[in-house]
Structure 1
Amino acid sequence: MRVGLYPGTFDPVTLGHLDIIRRAAALVDRLVIGVAINRDKGPLFNLEERVAMIERDCEGILRSTGTEIVVYPFENLLIDCARDVGARVIIRGLRAVADFEYEYQMVGMNRQLDDQIETVFLMAEAQHQAIASKLVKEIARLGGDVSKFVTPAVCRALGERFPQRP
């Protein structure tokens, strides 16, 4: 069984993330969505909310691809998480050159830790490449429309966190 791990904070999950998940599901038999517990980042949504968002938004992908999709919170090294879930492939999304520089360093370190686990980069479709969770939260906080960047359920959750000013 080919197991892939797609890690991230997913705070919140965006259409860009879902695009990568959909495409990654076509490459593996089991896709583990690793939700990072990163206390230093101070996420807007708690772990349970982020897991629930991903599980809900991946239901359609699961039905359309037949690939097993599991959401798995983790707080250890990425390479240890990959080992824990039996992943032989780490899937990473790329948006821009800045992403590549960081990811290039990460791959080098991960290869030093375990050279049996490969990293595969996927680029989101063009309409999703500029989407970043950080920017989505900023737009929502300032009262902007984020419906082009996230699912309706995530849009509602952001609206609850950032009620419109009168």
Structure 2
Amino acid sequence: MIPAPDKHERRGTPEAELFHVADWPMHYMLAIDRQHVHNMAKILKPFDCSPLMWRVVSVLSDQDGRSVAELAETTVIERSNLSRLLDAMEEDGLVTRSHGVEDKRQTMVYVTAKGRSLFERSLPAVLGYYQIFLADISPPEMTVLMKVIRTIKRNVMDFDPRPDEDETP
């Protein structure tokens, strides 16, 4: 009888032998993001606000009057999802949309007094949560962390995933 392989035994190419999920930064970033969204949903529930809504009102409270394209980029929400979200937020009186002054094809988004109030009322709860998960990180460590994250973001954004013409999968 052939013994069953150890479920943790690695098989495959030499490259696969070198890959360990525990050493992959994106694994941690994705796990952090998933848990963060879950935590934010709980924190924002008493304010009748979703994490995506909070992203929008927080960005607009910081700098009001952004184009939909700019808002999608800043909030990291897909344009199609953002459009549906903005429809609901406009219906709830949290934001307004209008055509751009210089370019009528551009849609600008503005936070209303109700949206700004939602941001201001929920901000202490969100900041309290941030203090908890950043508690063990010193200011110098935070500076290094943000520098590394920005570098990774730039590298990922600059990557051209198109294979060479003569390359076959």
TM-score, normalised relative to structure 2: 0.30
TM-score, normalised relative to structure 1: 0.30
The structure with the largest strand share of the pair is 1
Which has the greater radius of gyration?
A: 2
